[in-house]
């Protein structure tokens, strides 16, 4: 599918969700279960992307110490945990990858 | 100064601390979208067509992985579902506005515009100029998001192709996820989604991401309900 069409549909759906309950005020409430479930969207979606990026980085499943992206990812997780700083996490992860690839 | 103008400027002022955090994020998005294979124009216009930070990062990643269009659209939808909560939460305060105002404010309704605006509404209640505050917060964020995207695209084009810049995307996601892993259901949601994504890696059309995300959402919700069953009622 054309990227412009994807962006247009994605944008319309995003607008639709933002507009939905402002428009439907009084006619529809968000069910409690859905309200709860939405809290888990960010960790679920993002982890679903992160894990394969780190462990299938060569195209094959690789848990070995030769997998530099996995090791650099672990460094990033630690930095994110202790600093909670986006920029620092990205810089540490990139630096770790570059250094590990040199070794 | 008119009341509406005052409210607008108050919205802008309340948004400033958030803008400082958003600016580098927009630059990172611009640089990475370009690196992921999106054209300059598509990278820039996604910031106004979709106008949702994390969905834009995820789209860039999926374009880089050559995922098909319907999987990208499904993923954008799941990532942006939370906006329905903001919509529900602001709805009572916006109920008297015209459809045009409702549509405009909906378009500008991001995480960062919602946060100061709901606080303002809870403090002030419904006033004749309350929506101008939301407009000020939402518009200033929109403006900074476009500028920072452009700057990121400009600087990103100067980064040598040999640099493993594509790795910055998963790193950005790590920086987003790790700080929110504050309790057991959150951790379980993240880990179960990650494991299912690995197991389902071979599925066509990158569908593994959708299955993995749904698994994580269900695991987190079920665990939260198991922990506090009374709250569910």
pLDDT tens digits along B200-212: 998 887 889 999 9
Instruction: Nearest chain B residue to A51 by CA: give it.
Output: B194
d(CA B86, CA A7): 22
pLDDT of residue B232: 45
- Are B148 and B22 contacting, i.e. CB atoms less than 8 angstroms apart? yes
Distance of CA B220 to the CA centre of its chain: 20
Report chain B residues whose CB lies below 8 A from the CB of A75: none
- Are B156 and B31 contacting, i.e. CB atoms less than 8 angstroms apart? yes
Tell me the three state secondary structure of residue A56. Answer: coil
Size of interface A-B (CB pairs under 8 A): 262
Tell me the three state secondary structure of residue B133. Answer: helix
d(CA A66, CA A63): 8
Per-residue DSSP letter, B159: S
Tokens of A4: 């412009």
Flag whether pLDDT at B231 surpasses 60: no
Tokens of B233: 């009622």
Residue % of chain A over a pLDDT of 70: 100
Across the interface, of B55, B95, B212, the residue whose CB is closest to A14 is: B55
Q: Do the Cβ atoms of A14 and B86 come within 8 Å?
A: no
> Which residues neighbour B62 within 8 Å (Cβ) at sequence distance 6 or greater?
B71, B72, B75, B206, B209
Q: In this predicted model, what pLDDT tens digit does every residue of B171-230 receive, in sequence order?
A: 989 998 999 999 999 999 999 999 999 999 988 878 899 999 999 999 999 999 987 655
Tokens of B2: 């008119």
pTM to 2 decimal places: 0.83
A88-101 burial, b for 16+ CB within 10 Å, e for fewer? ebbebbbebbeebe
- Are B197 and A49 contacting, i.e. CB atoms less than 8 angstroms apart? yes
Q: Do the Cβ atoms of A40 and B46 come within 8 Å?
A: no
Q: What is the ipTM of this complex?
A: 0.91
The phi and psi torsions of B142 (rounded to 5 degrees) equal -60, -45
The phi and psi torsions of B44 (rounded to 5 degrees) equal -70, -45
> Which residues neighbour A29 within 8 Å (Cβ) at sequence distance 6 or greater?
B88
Instruction: Nearest chain B residue to A1 by CA: give it.
Output: B69
Q: How many residues does chain A have?
A: 103
The alpha-carbon gap from A70 to the nearest alpha carbon of chain B, in Å, equals: 11
- Are A22 and B90 contacting, i.e. CB atoms less than 8 angstroms apart? yes
pLDDT band with cut points at 50, 70 and 90 for residue B161: confident
Flag whether pLDDT at B66 surpasses 50: yes
Going by C-alpha positions, the residue among B209, B154, B133 that lies closest to residue A47 is B209
> Which residues neighbour A100 within 8 Å (Cβ) at sequence distance 6 or greater?
A68, A71, A72
Flag whether pLDDT at A13 surpasses 50: yes
Report chain B residues whose CB lies below 8 A from the CB of A23: 102, 106
d(CA B78, CA B66): 19
Across the interface, of B25, B79, B201, the residue whose CB is closest to A41 is: B79
- Residue A25 contacts B where some CB pair is shorter than 8 Å: yes
Q: Do the Cβ atoms of B220 and A44 come within 8 Å?
A: yes
The alpha-carbon gap from A64 to the nearest alpha carbon of chain B, in Å, equals: 15
Q: Do the Cβ atoms of A51 and B58 come within 8 Å?
A: no
Q: How many residues does chain B have?
A: 233
């Amino acid at each position: 599918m054309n990227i412009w069409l994807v962006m247009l549909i994605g944008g319309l759906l995003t607008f639709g969700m933002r507009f939905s309950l402002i428009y439907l005020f009084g006619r529809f409430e968000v069910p409690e279960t859905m309200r709860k479930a939405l809290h888990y969207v960010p960790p679920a979606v993002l982890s679903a992307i992160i894990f394969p990026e780190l462990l299938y980085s060569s195209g094959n499943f690789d848990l070995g110490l030769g997998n530099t992206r996995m090791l650099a990812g672990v460094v990033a997780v630690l930095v994110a945990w202790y600093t909670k700083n986006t920029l620092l996490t990205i810089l540490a992860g990139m630096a770790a990858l570059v250094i590990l690839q040199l070794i | 100064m008119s009341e509406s103008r005052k409210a607008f400027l108050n919205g802008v002022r309340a948004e400033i601390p958030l803008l400082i955090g958003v600016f580098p994020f927009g630059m990172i998005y611009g640089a990475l979208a370009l690196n992921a294979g999106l054209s300059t124009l598509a990278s820039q216009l996604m910031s106004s067509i979709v106008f949702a930070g994390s969905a834009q990062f995820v789209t860039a990643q999926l374009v880089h992985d050559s995922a098909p269009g319907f999987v990208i659209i499904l993923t954008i939808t799941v990532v942006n579902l939370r906006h329905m909560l903001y919509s529900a939460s602001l709805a009572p305060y916006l109920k008297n506005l015209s459809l045009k105002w409702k549509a405009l404010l909906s378009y500008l309704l991001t995480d960062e515009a919602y946060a100061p605006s709901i606080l303002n509404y809870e403090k002030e209640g419904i006033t004749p100029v309350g929506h101008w505050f939301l407009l000020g917060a939402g518009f200033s964020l929109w403006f900074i998001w476009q500028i920072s995207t452009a700057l990121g695209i400009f600087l990103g084009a100067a980064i040598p192709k040999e640099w493993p810049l594509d790795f910055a995307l998963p790193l950005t996601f790590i920086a987003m996820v790790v700080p929110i892993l504050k309790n057991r259901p959150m951790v379980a949601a993240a880990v179960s989604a990650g494991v299912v994504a690995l197991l389902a890696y071979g599925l066509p059309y990158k569908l593994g991401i959708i299955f993995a995300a749904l698994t994580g959402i269900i695991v987190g919700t079920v665990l939260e309900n198991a922990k506090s069953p009374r709250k569910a009622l």
